[in-house]
């Protein structure tokens, strides 16, 4: 194991999959000459050439659709959205073409495509550039959605996504690109299955369910709460769809108290679905109502203080955990 | 003219008859409520797809919008599989899961059947991208209506195809109406083909009621593309006799206008050409028509008798590996 950044981990995943399979190509805005808007694709043009690392004009609908068409005849495109906020321009392709093709064609055309890029609020990008899209996309049958929080998960999930025979969205996070973590050496194949949550910290008093940018918040809070004699178990979903119900239920059966900390909006958010599933299946295990910490239900303001007030954070999570623990 | 070509033209006339009789029967079955959802008929436009398909190889790619029955039949999907699809049967070309607007046939390189206007034009560019990526000499034929040319995805796709020099022929089947909105009321240009010029794509106008003209033009363009990959654009002028869909009485146009086009019918025209040249007798034509009608009747019977996909298999068509997410 060695320590690398989340950005390097993604870059390694891309390089390894491009190396392994000639059907894989990377396409998007600024992925080639510019070396990636967030430098995730740095060096790939030099290594794999312009046939496989392809710059596009600003035409998200066009190049997302191009990728889906290429996937219909067996190529395995990786389509980078500069941010998933821009994927909304390609919503019709991602929602109406990619996941529908398999059903609509009676099983003749599956779409082995990966859509990836940063998702969720970053810092003071205001309303149009701060979308957390996981709950939109997870609600669409035929799509898979993963949300890696660590360099290791980022590498392992992206590689798995590229090999999946269905459309997979890898929702990265701008604020995590420079974060560091331990990852297996490049000569060791690292594949992390979709739909497998990871207990990032064990605990016995309360389960904190999180993903992506809310994982580091949860780990900070769990460490802080330990000093106050509250033992929090941190369950990183890693994939929103498929959802690892088993891991969630196992943890809840142990702690009997749950807080879900998500980066999307509260109405029809990821946490709402998880609450439903927990109460439906293991209602009797609960010793307190489930609480959710999410964004406020407002478009993102630019003002820094107001943005902080909108986002989930450690303070809000601590309050929620103490409330479910009646502490 | 060589005997082979002669046979081919009679065969293509036969295909046009099959499409027409299929659509007439589909209309009847729709009214009898055997067919659900939306159903858009191709009657009047048969020479476009017949001419285009006659000019390309079986391994070339074709993709189209929702008025797609003729395209599947032209590509070689059986009338049985097409009618069964309309009936929602498992024996349909999309297992009864796609319906009228979503005919697919992988074996015959028919990539759909797409119902969001112009959303398939980027897909077509992707098919063409794959051809170039693999250094093949196939061509992609992308059919769409005049209604598609004002969608953003159409413009993005044309720009990408031109930028990457992809092997694709954009075939605009200009039937003068996007649903009930005439081209004059929807498009700022005087002629649709000028859209191509904006993307530095060569474009031409073709008479879509003339099978030979469509075939020869598509053959010429496809040949040029196989020599050196590039996109091309054909505005094929045609006319649909029926309304936009089954529920449309087409009150936005006059009877006289319809009559004018009926007199220029593509089937009558090709028949007349072949008869004049001594390549087809009246008896032979009647035989072809009889055969087309019989094929369609057999297709209806096949569709009626076919099984429906059992509800237990519903989740088999969500993810490729059949897994439930």
Q: What is the pLDDT of residues A125-154, one digit of tens each?
A: 999 999 999 999 999 999 999 999 999 999
> What average pLDDT does the segment A41-49 reach?
98
A128-132, B14-18, B321-325: segment of lowest average pLDDT = B321-325
Q: What residue in B sits closest to A67 (Cα-Cα)? A: B126
The ipTM, to two decimals, is: 0.96
At B4 the pLDDT is 47
CA–CA dist A273, A290 (Å, integer) = 12
Instruction: State which CATH number among 3.80.30.20, 3.40.50.880, 3.30.565.10, 3.40.50.920 fits the domain covering A198-324.
Output: 3.40.50.920
Overall CATH class of domain A2-183: alpha beta
pLDDT at B325 over 80: no
Q: Which of A129, A226, A250, A285 is catalytic?
A: A129
In sign, the C-alpha dihedral spanning B286, B291, B292, B298 is positive
Compute the half-sphere exposure of residue B150: CA atoms within 13 Å on the CB side of its CA: 15
User: In this complex, which of B105, B123, B319 lies closest to A65 when CB atoms are compared?
Assistant: B123
Q: What is the pLDDT of residues B89-101, one digit of tens each?
A: 999 999 999 999 9
Contacts of B316 in chain A (CB under 8 A): 107
User: In this complex, which of B104, B152, B323 lies closest to A108 when CB atoms are compared?
Assistant: B104
CB A218 within 8 A of CB A199: no
Averaged pLDDT of chain A: 98
Q: What percent of chain A clears pLDDT 90, i.e. is strictly above it? A: 99
Q: Is B142 on the interface with A (CB under 8 A)?
A: no
Q: What is the pLDDT of residues B167-192, one digit of tens each?
A: 999 999 999 999 999 999 999 999 99
Interface test with B, best of A18, A57, A65 (most B CBs within 10 A): A65
Chain A residues within 8 Å of chain B (Cβ atoms)? 25, 51, 56-57, 59, 61-75, 77, 92-93, 96-97, 101-110, 112, 141-142, 144, 165-166, 195, 241-243
Residues 6+ apart with CB under 8 A from A303: none
Residue spans in chain A of domains classed CATH 3.40.50.920? 198-324
pLDDT at B324 over 70: no
At B321 the pLDDT is 79
CA–CA dist B321, B299 (Å, integer) = 32
At B11 the pLDDT is 95
- Per the model's pLDDT, the better-predicted residue between A202 and B3 turns out to be A202
Cα distance from B107 to chain A (closest Cα, Å)? 9
Residue spans in chain A of domains classed CATH 3.40.50.970? 2-183
Cα distance from A25 to chain B (closest Cα, Å)? 10
Domains by residue range for chain B, with CATH: 3-307 (3.40.50.970)
A123 part of the active site: no
CA–CA dist A158, A168 (Å, integer) = 9
What angle is formed at CA A281 by the lines to CA A279 and CA A282, rounded to 5 degrees? 70
> What average pLDDT does the segment A23-31 reach?
98
Compute the half-sphere exposure of residue B204: CA atoms within 13 Å on the CB side of its CA: 13
Cα distance from B298 to chain A (closest Cα, Å)? 23
Band of the pLDDT at B5, cuts 50, 70, 90?
low
User: In this complex, which of A69, A105, A141 lies closest to B94 when CB atoms are compared?
Assistant: A105
The Cα-based distances of B288 to A58, A217, B18, B215 in angstroms read 51, 74, 9, 21
DSSP B47-114: HHHHHHHHTS-TTSEEEE-S--HHHHHHHT--HHHHHHHHTT-TTSTTTTSS-TT---BTTTTEEEE-
List all residues of chain B from 95 to 134 with a beta carbon under 8 Å from chain A: 95-98, 102, 104-106, 111-114, 116, 119-130, 133
pLDDT at B1 over 70: no
Whether residues A70 and B129 touch (CB distance < 8 A) is answered with yes
Q: What is the pLDDT of residues B115-154, one digit of tens each?
A: 999 999 999 999 999 999 999 999 999 999 999 999 999 9
């Amino acid at each position: 194991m060695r320590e690398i950044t989340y950005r390097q981990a993604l870059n390694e995943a891309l390089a390894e999959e491009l190396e392994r399979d000639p059907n894989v190509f990377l396409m998007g805005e600024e992925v080639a000459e510019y070396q990636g808007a967030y430098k995730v694709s740095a060096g790939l043009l030099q290594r794999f050439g312009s046939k496989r690392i392809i710059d596009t004009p600003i035409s998200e609908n066009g190049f997302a659709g191009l990728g889906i068409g290429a996937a219909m005849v067996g190529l395995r495109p990786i389509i980078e959205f500069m941010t998933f906020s821009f994927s909304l321009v390609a919503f019709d392709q991602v929602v109406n073409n990619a996941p529908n093709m398999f059903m609509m064609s009676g099983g003749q055309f599956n779409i082995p495509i990966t859509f990836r890029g940063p998702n969720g609020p970053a810092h003071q990008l205001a309303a149009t550039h701060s979308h957390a899209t996981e709950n939109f996309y997870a609600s669409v049958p035929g799509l898979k959605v993963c949300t890696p929080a660590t360099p290791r998960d980022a590498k392992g999930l992206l590689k798995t996504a590229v090999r999946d025979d269905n459309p997979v969205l890898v929702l990265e996070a701008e604020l995590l690109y420079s974060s560091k973590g331990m990852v297996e050496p490049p000569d060791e194949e690292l594949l992390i299955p979709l739909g497998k949550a990871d207990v990032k910290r064990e605990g016995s008093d309360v389960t904190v369910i999180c993903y992506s940018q809310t994982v580091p918040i949860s780990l900070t809070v769990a460490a802080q709460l330990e000093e106050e004699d509250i033992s929090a178990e941190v369950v990183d979903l890693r994939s929103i769809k498929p959802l690892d119900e088993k891991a969630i239920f196992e943890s809840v059966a142990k702690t009997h108290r749950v807080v879900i900390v998500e980066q999307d909006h509260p109405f029809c958010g990821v946490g709402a679905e998880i609450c439903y599933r927990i109460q439906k299946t293991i209602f009797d295990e609960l010793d307190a109502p489930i609480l959710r910490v999410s964004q406020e239900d407002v478009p993102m303001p630019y003002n820094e203080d107001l943005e902080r007030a909108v986002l989930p954070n450690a303070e809000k999570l601590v309050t929620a955990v103490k409330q479910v623990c009646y502490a | 003219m060589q005997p082979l070509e002669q046979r081919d033209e009679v065969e293509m006339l036969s295909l046009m008859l099959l499409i027409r009789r299929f659509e007439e029967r589909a209309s009847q079955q729709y009214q009898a409520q055997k067919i659900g959802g939306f159903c858009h008929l191709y009657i009047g436009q048969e020479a476009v797809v017949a001419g285009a398909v006659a000019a390309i190889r079986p391994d070339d790619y074709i993709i189209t919008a929702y008025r797609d029955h003729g395209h599947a039949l032209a590509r070689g999907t059986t009338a049985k599989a097409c009618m069964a699809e309309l009936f929602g049967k498992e024996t349909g070309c999309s297992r009864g899961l796609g319906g009228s607007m979503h005919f697919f046939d992988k074996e015959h390189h028919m990539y759909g059947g797409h119902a969001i206007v112009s959303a398939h034009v980027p897909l077509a560019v992707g098919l063409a991208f794959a051809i170039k990526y693999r250094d093949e000499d196939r061509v992609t034929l992308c059919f769409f209506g005049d209604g598609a040319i004002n969608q953003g995805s159409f413009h993005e796709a044309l720009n990408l195809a031109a930028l990457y020099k992809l092997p694709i022929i954009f075939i605009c089947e200009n039937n003068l109406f996007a649903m009930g909105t005439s081209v004059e009321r929807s498009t700022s240009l005087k002629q649709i083909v000028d859209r191509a010029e904006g993307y530095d794509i060569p474009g031409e106008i073709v008479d879509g009621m003339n099978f030979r003209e469509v075939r020869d033009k598509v053959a010429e363009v496809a040949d040029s593309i196989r020599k050196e990959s590039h996109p091309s654009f054909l505005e094929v002028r045609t006319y649909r006799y029926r309304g936009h869909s089954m529920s449309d009485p087409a009150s936005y146009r006059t009877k006289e206008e319809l009559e004018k086009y009926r007199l220029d019918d593509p089937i009558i025209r090709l028949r007349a050409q072949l008869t004049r040249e001594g390549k087809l007798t009246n008896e032979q034509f009647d035989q072809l028509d009889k055969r087309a009608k019989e094929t369609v009747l057999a297709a209806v019977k096949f569709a009626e008798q076919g099984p429906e996909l059992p509800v237990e298999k519903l989740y088999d068509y969500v993810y490729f590996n059949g897994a439930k997410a």
